[in-house]
Amino acid sequence: MKIENLPFGTTDWSKIDATEHPGVTGKAFWRTCKFGDIRVRMVEYTPGYLADHWCVKGHVLLCLEGELHTELEDGRTFVLKPGMSYQVADNAEPHRSSTEVGAKLFIVD
């Protein structure tokens, strides 16, 4: 990722309106900011959330609260707890998220 033409700034995430994204089960609430080609999100998944798609977008994702389960299309699974992160490139490994207890994430893509 190359970040250019972006002056220093701060974001008060509590002032960013959330958008609702239903999963197969549960819901995701995204607070999103765009900085040129970079999308930065604070995402909260409700308990019981299961994504409704396999994602091919690259991300750097940090788990802030709760527990996130990530399944890769090839069957591998990973569990993130607070303070853990993952990174994946665009079109590299399709993945989908789920959580039994809910999760709060910080995502850059």
The CATH number assigned to the domain holding 94 equals 2.60.120.10
81 neighbors 16 (Cβ within 8 angstroms): no
Instruction: Please determine, for residue 34, whether its predicted confidence score (pLDDT) is greater than 80.
Output: yes
When divided into structural domains, the chain yields a total of: 1
Does a structural domain hold residue 91? yes
Instruction: Please determine, for residue 29, whether its predicted confidence score (pLDDT) is greater than 80.
Output: yes
pLDDT, averaged across the chain = 96
Instruction: Please determine, for residue 48, whether its predicted confidence score (pLDDT) is greater than 80.
Output: yes
Provide the whole-model pTM.
0.93
Does a structural domain hold residue 9? no
pLDDT-based confidence at 4, cuts 50/70/90?
Answer: confident
Mean pLDDT of 63-71: 98
Instruction: Please determine, for residue 5, whether its predicted confidence score (pLDDT) is greater than 90.
Output: no
Angstrom CA distances, 39 to 35, 60, 88, 92, stand at 6, 11, 15, 19
Domain that holds residue 32: 20-108
Does a structural domain hold residue 76? yes
pLDDT-based confidence at 27, cuts 50/70/90?
Answer: very high
Does a structural domain hold residue 12? no
